Amino acid sequence: MRPALRAGAGFTLIEVIVSVFLLSILAAFCYETLNYVRAARETTARAFARVRDLELAIHYLTTDFEQLAPRPVRDLLGSSEQPALLANGLTTDVVALSRGGWPNSAGLPRSTLQRVTYTMADGTLVRQYTTVLDATLANTPVRRELLTDVTAIKIRYLDATRVWQDQWPPLVANAANNVVPLSTRPIAVEITVETKDVGKIVRLVEIPG
């Protein structure tokens, strides 16, 4: 018959070592799990942010073209007029256009039309606009970076003869006097944005009117 343990008897050294070893393993497992959860959360947050940026960029492009207005503008020097839609590859701009529907809830003394320009800067798609429609060199444009890691962006324009054009106004004049009016708009546009991570995104936008 084994003798009864004394009251208040403690753990042996072996038991303490085994307990510390098991706790160490459990702590290491919990730490790795916590790191995994944190890394997964950060990855998910970056993915959601990327999707949000993509959706926002496509939304801006689509909305601007859907509200394309047949309003030419004066150039910055005021010496000539630019078409309501300009995309000819002669400048660093992807496209410049006049659009309507610019909200004016504050009732400011300004037009609801807006001149918007899209440019590419080091793989970043940038949207900018001026607070006045016929801007001068004194008007600083409002600039917003929409999307990074853009490898290519291409916009095609469907003219009145149902032919896709790579620039606007089109090279082939459709007017009787061989001059395309500055207010001429395409029937539709095809927007293609290509990024490093997502790949190619294509949107077809019908131009009203």
- Written as six digits, the tokens of 99 are 């659009």
E-only strand ranges, 58-167: 73-74, 81-82, 85-86, 93-99, 114-121, 124-129, 142-147, 150-158, 164-165
Residue numbers of the chain with a pLDDT score lower than 50: 5, 174
- The pLDDT, as a whole number, for residue 177 is 56
Say if residues 180 and 174 touch (Cβ distance below 8 Å): yes
- The pLDDT, as a whole number, for residue 8 is 55
How far is residue 100's CA from residue 78's CA, in Å, rounded to a whole number?
22
How far is residue 15's CA from residue 33's CA, in Å, rounded to a whole number?
27
HEC states along 47-76? HHHHHHHHHHHHHHHHHHHHCECCCCEECC
- The pLDDT, as a whole number, for residue 20 is 79
pLDDT digits (tens, 9 = 90+) for 65-123: 999 999 999 988 878 899 999 998 777 799 999 999 877 777 777 778 999 999 999 99
Say if residues 131 and 142 touch (Cβ distance below 8 Å): yes
- Written as six digits, the tokens of 141 are 């444009």
- Tell if the pTM clears 0.95, that is, is over it: no
The burial class, CB within 10 Å (0-12 / 13-18 / 19+), for 190 is middle
- The pLDDT, as a whole number, for residue 91 is 74
- Written as six digits, the tokens of 45 are 């947050």
What CATH number labels 61-206? 3.10.610.10
Radius of gyration of the chain, Cα coordinates, nearest whole angstrom: 31
How far is residue 93's CA from residue 120's CA, in Å, rounded to a whole number?
7
